[in-house]
A and B are shown apart, each in its own frame.
Chain A
Amino acid sequence: MLLIFIGYRVEFSLGRMLAGLPGMADLFRRMAHPNFSYMGEVFEKIAETVEIAILSSLTGVMLAIPVALLTSENISPNLYLSKILNAVFAFFRTIPSLIWAAILVSIFSIGKFPGMIALSIIAFLMSLKLFREYIESINENQLNSTRSVGASSLEVLRYCVLPNMMGMAVSVFFIVFETNIRSATVLGLVGAGGIGQIMWRDLNHLRYDNLATIILMLFATILLIDALSFMVRKFLQEYSPKIRSLEHYRKRKILKSMLLPLIFAGLVVGIINSLNITLERMAVGFRQGSQIVFRMLQVDFSYYPRLFEGIFESLMIAVFATVVGGFFAIIFSFFAAYNLAPGKLVSVGMKGLINVMRTFPPIIMAIIFFRGVGPGPLAGALALSIYTTGVLTKMYSEVLENMPENVRDSVLVTGATRLEAYRHGIFPQTFANFVSLLLYRMESNIRNSAILGIIGAGGIGTALTMNINWRNWERVGLLLLGVSIMIILIDRLSNYLRHKVK
Chain B
Amino acid sequence: MLKVENLQVIYDNKTLALEDVSLTVGEGEFVGIIGSSGSGKSTLLKCINLLVRPTKGKIYLDHWDLMSLSSKGLREIRREIGFIFQDYNLIDRSTVIDNVLIGRLSYKTPFQSLFRIFSQDDYERAQKALSYVALEEKMYERADQLSGGQKQRVAIAKTLCQRPKVMLADEPVASLDRATAHLIMEYFRRANMKKNITILINLHDVELAKKYCSRIIGLKKGKMVFDGKVGDLTDDVLKRIYA
Contacts and interface: CB of A to CB of B under 8 A. Distances in A.
B116 A246 contact: no
Given A159-B102, A249-B140, A164 B89 contact: no
B92 A141 contact: no
Contact of A147 (B51, B77, B94, B113): B51
Contacts of B114: 154, 158
A253 interface: yes
Interface in B92-111: 92-94, 97-98, 102-103, 105-106, 110
Nearest to A260: B116
B117 A254 contact: yes
Contact of B94 (A151, A163, A258): A163
B100 to A, nearest CB: 11
Given A148-B78, A246-B123, A141 B89 contact: yes
A240 B93 CA distance: 12
Interface string A237-267: 0001001001101100110011000000000
Contacts of B90: 145
Given A246-B124, A246-B127, A149 B110 contact: no
What size tier do the contact residues of chain B reach? 35 or more
Contacts of A250: 118, 120, 123
A257 B105 contact: no
Contacts of B120: 247, 250
Nearest to A243: B140
A148 B51 contact: yes
Contacts of A151: 75, 102, 105-106, 113
Given A250-B118, A250-B120, A257-B116, A150 B105 contact: yes
B173 interface: no
A142 interface: yes
Nearest to B89: A145
Given A147-B51, A150-B79, A167 B106 contact: no
Interface string B72-93: 0001111101110101011111
B2 to A, nearest CB: 15
Contact of B87 (A141, A147, A167, A246): A141
A149 B94 contact: no
B49 interface: yes
Contacts of B75: 150-152
A431 to B, nearest CB: 34
A13 interface: no
B94 A150 contact: no
Contacts of B102: 146, 149, 151, 159
A288 interface: no
A144 interface: yes
A149 B51 CA distance: 11
Interface of A: 139, 141-142, 144-152, 154-155, 158-160, 163-164, 166-167, 240, 243, 246-247, 249-250, 253-254, 257-258
Given A148-B78, A151-B102, A243-B139, 7 more contacts: A149-B102, A150-B162, A158-B116, A163-B98, A246-B123, A247-B123, A250-B118
13 contacts: A144-B89, A145-B90, A146-B105, A147-B51, A148-B49, A148-B83, A151-B113, A152-B71, A160-B91, A163-B94, A246-B123, A246-B124, A253-B116
7 pairs of A and B residues whose beta carbons are closest in the complex? A150-B106, A145-B89, A148-B83, A150-B78, A150-B79, A257-B116, A150-B75
